Every structure is written in structure tokens, then in C-alpha cells.
A and B are shown apart, each in its own frame.
Chain A
Amino acid sequence: NAGVMQNPRHLVRRRGQEARLRCSPMKGHSHVYWYRQLPEEGLKFMVYLQKENIIDESGMPKERFSAEFPKEGPSILRIQQVVRGDSAAYFCASSPGLANEQYFGPGTRLTVT
């Protein structure tokens, strides 16, 4: 059973471009969490999704950021018109249910130039 997979591992975008980050949860997991880690800070929660539903997006910036977890395929975190401040590591985690342990992916390091 493969672990949580994220791709790409490293992503470089110029200011104004779009960034798409993918997260494939572990097999059988229907809950996905996205976190952002700014340099030398701890993880900060962004959004919690179940298949086809956003459950909690209280940590998402109001503009330019969106997330989805379709019925088929990976969860996508999309950042439009990236700015330098978006440079960070983005981690996703998956779990099989609401009260279950989360398993983390290796993260995507986004650099905005």
C-alpha cells in the first residue's frame, strides 16, 4: 500500500502564473487535509476535504486559493496568480475517516520567482 503521494515535489513558478499541487491519498482514504509551511514555521492548516466536498476551509486565503477532491483522481490545491509570499512547502495528509490518524505526504516545495 503506497503512502500518500504528492507531486510535483518541487515547483517553480513566476509571479502571476498558476500553481497546481496534487495529492493522491493512501488507498481507501477518503479524507484529505492540506497544510502550508512557511520557512521556519510550523504547519498551518488550510483545508479539509472529503470526496467531492469541502468540509472546512477556514485556513484558506480568501482569494487565489482553491482546493478540490473529485470523485476520481487526486486532490488538487490550486493557487492562481502566485506571489512571492506563496513560496512555501505544501503538505497534504489523508485519513480513512474523521477520527482516524492522518498520514502525511512528502510535500511540494513551491518557489515563486
Chain B
Amino acid sequence: ELKVEQNPLFLSMQEEKNYTIYCNYSTTSDRLYWYRQDPGKSLESLFVLLSNGAVKQEGRLMASLDTKARLSTLHITAAVHDLSATYFCAVDEDNDMRFGAGTRLTVKP
């Protein structure tokens, strides 16, 4: 069964600090997605990673995928308050998509 685990589930950061969110999964999928969700809002697609070694960057966020380790990371550089949100990873294998539990990120001044 496909399982997706994110950690940490809660993350409180100070502005200008760096941190990483981890997404481990249980299969050999090479299709992994990262999403952002603001309270009361729909999911916003951040990154689509479709191969081993894929790395994508947008602003202060960078995502990578290591299919051999079954691990994706979302790295936050020099956090700012606007990044406060919940971040989800999701893995797609054989038409079965599973979401991680989400990481609730709070960036404090």
C-alpha cells in the first residue's frame, strides 16, 4: 500500500532562517507533487517532480526528488512571513494518489 509521510507536521520558523520539510513514501513512484494551502483556500500547485534527481526552484522554495531513497525535500531559504501556510506532498503511482498529512509552517518575525 502506498504510504506518504511528511515531517515535521508543525514548523515554527524565524524570518531569514532556512529549513527543510521531508516527504518519505513507500513505493518506487517517480511522480511527486508539492502543494501549498492557505487557511480556507484551495490547494495551489508548487512543484511537479517527475524523475529521479529532479530539482525545481521558485523564489525561496526549492524541491528535489530522490526516488532511490523514496524521499523528496522542500527547502525554504531565508523564510519570510508570506510563506506561512500548510505544505502538502503527494505521490502518484499507478493511478493512485496519496497525500502526506501536511506541514503547517508559521514564520515569525
Contact = CB atoms under 8 A, between A and B. Distances in A.
Nearest to B39: A99
Main secondary structure of the interface of A (DSSP, over half): strand
A42 to B, nearest CB: 3
B109 interface: no
Interface of A: 10, 33, 35, 37, 40-45, 48, 56, 59, 89, 91, 93, 98-99, 101-102, 104, 106-107, 109
Interface footprint category on B: 20 to 34
Main secondary structure of the interface of B (DSSP, over half): strand
Q: Determine which residue in B31, B40, B50, B95 has the highest number of CB atoms from chain A within 10 A of its CB, and name it.
A: B40
A42 B37 contact: no
B99 interface: yes
B43 A43 contact: yes
Contact of B42 (A33, A106, A109): A33
B99 A42 contact: no
